[in-house]
Each structure stands twice: as C-alpha cells, then as structure tokens.
Structure 1
C-alpha cells in the first residue's frame, strides 16, 4: 500500500496544485482581482503566479523527499520519476498564467 502511495504522490500533488490554480482563477475573476494593480501587475495574476511557483517548489521538495527516503527498487525509482512528471505538469499547466490574459 505504501508503494502505491509513493508512486502516485507526485501526480496527486499535481492534481492538488491544478485545483488550487483553477479555483484561484475563478475566484479572482468573479471578485474583480484583475482590476486591482499591485507591483506593476494585477493582484489576480500576482496571486496565480505565487501559487504556481509555490506548487512547483512543493513538487520539487516532494520529489526530493521521495528520492531520499526510497531505496533502489523499481518502485522507488518509478516514484521519483512520477514525481518529476508531476512537477513538469505543474510548470506546463501554469504557463497560460503568464501568457494569456487572466479574465476574458
């Protein structure tokens, strides 16, 4: 059971980070955060970028933990690889934050 949790930890983390970004996007658009300017950008975009970077950083830390606590079995190496897949999915999934207007 623990091996299954370790194998899916990176992808579960990606799903959590995606849900947080998606939720913040909806809340920010409905609350009008895109019209509030902070540090040269909108409050909405700033919060989304901070959540995106925080999610990716937490994914890197999770993957590092998986690597340190695991052994050299195929399941342990697979858990680390899937951890990096989760980090890559967070990075790629968050790219529209910096390339597309927040609320259309």
Structure 2
C-alpha cells in the first residue's frame, strides 16, 4: 500500500492543487473578490496565486523527498511521477497570471 502511495504522491498533489484552486476560484468569483484592489491587482488573483505558490512548494518538497532514494525501479518511478506532478502543477495554473479570473 505504501508503494502505491509513493507512486501516486506527485499526481495526488497536483489533483489536490487543482481542486483547491478551482474551489477558491468559484468562491472568490461568487464573493466578488475580483472587485477588491490589492497591490496593483485584485484580491481574487492574489488569493489564487498564493494558493498556487503554496501548492508548488508542497509538490516540490514531495518530489525532492522522493528523489533522495533511487535504489530500485519503484523508487525511480515514484521520483518520476512526483516530478511530473510538480511540472503539472506549475504548467496548469500559469493562466492565473494573465487571464481574467472572473468573467
């Protein structure tokens, strides 16, 4: 069971990030956070970017932790999927930087 968790940890991290940011996006748009100005932007974007950065840190730490031991094929596969989860978290949410958060 632990092996399965190690193999899927990076992709689980991406899925958690996706659900968290998607949920915050809906709550922020419904609450009107996009109309509150903060530091040259809007509160909605700042909250989403902060959540994205927290998720990036979490997936990076997971990938770094799983990269320390590469003795077996299982260890190398866990490392690869963890870095895939980090890359997916990085790439999936880049539109937060340029696309309007609420329409």
How many equivalent residue pairs? Answer: 103
List per-residue Cα deviations over 1:43-86 (Å, max 9, x = no partner).
Answer: 00001001111101110001111123x34101101101100100
1:19 and 1:37 map into 2 onto residues whose CA distance is: 25
Question: Normalising by structure 2, what TM-score?
Answer: 0.96
Could you list the runs of 5+ residues in structure 1 that have no partner in the other structure? none
Structure 1 residue runs of 4 or more that deviate by more than 2 Å after TM superposition: none
* 1:1-104 correspondence runs (5 A): 1-68=1-68, 70-104=69-103
**Superposed CA RMSD:** 0.9
Cα distance in 2 for residues equivalent to 1:10 and 1:20: 15
Q: Distance in 2 between matches of 1:2 and 1:73?
A: 15
Find the residue that maps to 2:71 and give its secondary structure. Answer: coil
Residue segments in structure 2 that go unaligned for 5+ positions in a row: none
Alignment TM-score, normalising by the size of structure 1: 0.95
Cα separation, 2, equivalents of 1:5 and 1:25: 28
